[in-house]
Amino acid sequence: MKRIVLTGFRGTGKTEIGRILAAQHRVAFLDTDSLIEQQTGRSIPDIFHEDGEERFRTIERDVIAGLPPADAVISTGGGAVVDPVNMAHLRRDSTVVLLTADLDTIEQRIARSPRPPLTNLPLREEIAEMLDRRRQNYRASADLCIDTSGTTPATAAVIINDRIGKGVPTPSARKEGLAFFRGGRLAAPALRRLEEVLASPPSDPLTRLLGVAGYPALHSRGPRLFNALFAEYGINCHYTFFEDPAIGRIMDLTRSLDVKGLSVTIPFKQDVMTLVDEVDEATRKIGAVNTVVFACGSATGYNTDWLGIRKPLVSLKGSKAVLLGAGGVASAAAFALVDLDMDVTILNRTPEKAKELAARTGCRWAAWDTFDQIHPDLVVNATPLGMEPDTRSPLRGEQVYPDLTVFDLVYTPPVTPLIEMALGRGCRTIQGTEMFIEQAKEQFWLFFGIDVPSETIRKYLS
């Protein structure tokens, strides 16, 4: 049997439901809090009171690392999912079930719990605060979501077993999904894998899809990278291409197929914002989504592009920069450059778009042909120029000079005409691959709660 891991806040029923599942599958039931008490000879409240939460989390991490790899049902502590090291251990070759409950139910169930408080707030306010603080971590942990508010532990166990046996997508949804992919441009090997995942019955009902949504999308290196990471971390998922001229159709399909997450590329980064249920604060300010996480019936939009752009530029904090472009990725770039206290001027072939983005981000804007008058320290290309089919450089050879840093956000090909030109002129260059690596690292954390080393991503892209 594949290992079943239960996550969720206190009071959602992990222990009772876990015991029922273990008995039904005739495997061991292991509760990480109980294991901590057995190994230390002390109660959880005593550890918190005498040693503090940090020491407790260290012990918890060691216990989770030592859990058996198979044939067990595991119940985890409510805060275990916050640690990326724990998530790497818990997700490996496992089905992770997130148990949820409403605020009233949780409060009623844990009102007499001996566990120490995690804040100085009254119980109900503390529950609300901690649920909000951990929400992203809980969603990243989930292969399946089960609301236990109005169910008995026995009923919840029945629901879990049913979904483990059948999966979440209906046969009609799988059929619709296959028609979508067969009508696209996928190569035969990629299509054969999808036919296995979406068959009725499927080869494994718990294999979940992720993918890149764009038009076009086949240039993306996402499938190569993410499928390699799934093998590395023992995650039962498959990453593919969702290529269609209508982002609405893609979003409808991903919801019906219980897709785990999407990477969003040109031309949908702004349009998809109206199709998700919520966005985080940074994404709202940027006005573009490049990552969608589906969990517990909700789609949440994030932007990891700005983090991928920011990290390679930290050493240039406070520089004078020119940003070429005013689309979705340019919005993320402007946010990153402003966050690094740069003096930013936005240039775009359509000046009205540059003006709008500048007003929204607190930057300057100017006409495209004023580049030579600015003499920046840094230029960031956030246009699609350099990527097939338009392989032109956005700048001419005489416009780049040795003390200029050139960051081209186009990553296919890795060496674009702009990068090649800049290298020839003695400039410092940053390829779009660097942005891709860092934003993909953030995406993987949002999808699965695991912190992948940048060098691991670089290895699979080389």
Residue written as tokens 């093998």?
Answer: 231
Whole-number Å distance between alpha carbons of 406 and 376: 10
Those residues whose C-beta lies under 8 Å from the C-beta of residue 184, and which sit 6 or more positions away, are: 241, 243, 244
Nearest one of 36, 23, 25 to 3, comparing CA atoms:
25
**Torsion, Cα of 228, 232, 238, 241 (10° steps):** -30
- Choosing from 14, 260, 269, 441, the catalytic residue is 269
Are 224 and 461 in contact by the 8 Å Cβ rule? The answer is yes
Q: What angle do CA 336, 338, 340 make, to 5 degrees?
A: 75
Nearest one of 176, 149, 145 to 298, comparing CA atoms:
145
Whole-number Å distance between alpha carbons of 251 and 169: 14
Assess whether the previous peptide bond of 223 is cis (omega < 30° from 0): no
Are 142 and 296 in contact by the 8 Å Cβ rule? The answer is yes
Q: First CA to last CA across the chain, in angstroms?
A: 36
Are 7 and 138 in contact by the 8 Å Cβ rule? The answer is yes
Are 196 and 240 in contact by the 8 Å Cβ rule? The answer is no
The letter for the amino acid at 261 is: G
Q: Residue 96 pairs with which residues in a beta bridge?
A: 5
Those residues whose C-beta lies under 8 Å from the C-beta of residue 179, and which sit 6 or more positions away, are: none
Are 89 and 137 in contact by the 8 Å Cβ rule? The answer is no
Q: What are the tokens at 449?
A: 């709660």
The letter for the amino acid at 53 is: E
Are 246 and 184 in contact by the 8 Å Cβ rule? The answer is no
Those residues whose C-beta lies under 8 Å from the C-beta of residue 79, and which sit 6 or more positions away, are: 57, 60, 118, 134
Residue 269 a catalytic site member: yes
Residue 221, SS3? coil
Q: Give the burial string for 112-127 (b: 16+ CB within 10 Å, else e).
A: eeeeeebeeeeeeeeb
Whole-number Å distance between alpha carbons of 41 and 35: 10
Whole-number Å distance between alpha carbons of 310 and 314: 6
The residues assigned a catalytic role are: 269
